[in-house]
Amino acid sequence: IHTNVFAKGRRKVFFLSFFFFLLEHEFPILFAFEQGKILEKIGICSQINFVRYMQGVRTLGADQKLFIKDLCFGKVPVRIYQPKAPSSSQRRGVMFFHGGGWTLGSVGKITNTHENLCRSLARESDSVVVSVGYRLAPEHKYPAAYEDCLNATIHFMRNTEHYGVDPARISVCGDSAGGNLAAAVSQTLAGRSDLPKLRAQILIYPHLQALDFNLPSYQQNQGVPLLFRERAAFFALQYLNGDTSHMEEVLEGSHIPIDIKLNYKKWVSPDNIPEKFKARGYKPYVLLDCPTVVYETMKRFCEPNLCPLLAEDAVIQQLPESFILTCEFDVLRDDGLLYKKRLEDNGVRVTWYHLEDGFHGIMNFSNSDWMSFSSGERGLNNIVNFLKSL
């Protein structure tokens, strides 16, 4: 962890608590990426499969306030969380897409952290939550995860009467890679006249672009758990095509031609980040050109279904009311800030909540039996309050 991140005295207690939590619960996963890399090189197993094995399965027991059931929407597995208490009216519906770099997590064997989050959202907001077990990369490359999330959402929209849900109050929600999928699904459905309009999109530290891994937040937080800068690029490449051989070009920014980057500079640029978010240190960098052979393997990074920040204004203008949560100590912070600006510039109502002492993945520790962070609880409370307002 970069020492300057936690230099202030008020962060010392947080740092010590965070360190011991990681030592007990998360370092095995962090180290698993490095161990898996070695095993992959010598041909024993893939890095991703080793991390999935090390992540393991942590199941929770029954919930006194929720009915929890595993189903399939078409070919897509889902887990549904329904409040047991009777309701005098139809409830809100929330389609939840879990994070995990498009490579980790599943329904039925979902990690304890996302299970906790889904249960909390359903209980505290009195909503029906549907967690989607989309296909994972690299076995299933883009656009498999996006297609599964889209198809599951459409199925739910067309069958709300079976779950006591108001079709006019369906929202999409996701964290990290799941925030990417929620944004992409929201954009696709914005132009559909044959379906109900989404009521809202809730994006929790979303990963929204892969053009620039040198934005201020990437520089400031490149070595901050739980998502390192290099790993963010690794996950994006796993989802794109499963090929990480051009990781160096992606990190230095030579994977997209200069003329294309300049075309998107109006949307993806440090100039659009408020100055206060550059105070911890930011060094402008020189644009590098891209070899044609590299761009041929990377050009789908310019597709909005993969990188929603690049959608045209005509699409952004149609998006529903939005909630965006960002964390100060997160490489993806600026993705959220840039999307917030795009939405607001196009007249979309945005509720933004920034955790000044938050880190990537903090929401997964909400209601943890071992440790929780007050900032994560504040984030969850703000999401719940937003849902209740819909």
Instruction: Identify the CA nearest to 160 among candidates 82, 76, 88, 66.
Output: 82
Tell me if residue 330 is catalytic: yes
Question: Within a 13 Å sphere around the CA of 304, how many CA atoms are in the beta-carbon half?
Answer: 18
What is the rounded (10 degree) CA torsion for 352, 337, 4, 365?
50
Instruction: Identify the CA nearest to 352 among candidates 200, 199, 202.
Output: 202
CA angle 195, 201, 204 (to 5 degrees): 150
Catalytic residue among 120, 125, 171, 176: 176
Catalytic residue among 148, 175, 330, 334: 330
**The 321-329 sheet, strands edge to edge:** 66-73, 76-83, 127-132, 91-97, 165-175, 200-204, 321-329, 350-359
User: CA-to-CA distance for 73 and 76, rounded, in angstroms?
Assistant: 5
Tell me if residue 176 is catalytic: yes
CA distance readout (Å), 162 to 155, 198, 279, 352: 11, 18, 51, 33
Tell me if residue 88 is catalytic: no
DSSP 74-108: TTEEEEEEEESS--SSPEEEEEEE--STTTS--SS
CA distance readout (Å), 91 to 52, 55, 85, 115, 163: 35, 34, 11, 20, 9
Contact 330, 205 (CB under 8 A): yes
Tell me the one-letter amino acid at 338.
L
Catalytic residue among 114, 360, 366, 375: 360
Annotated catalytic sites, by residue?
176, 330, 360
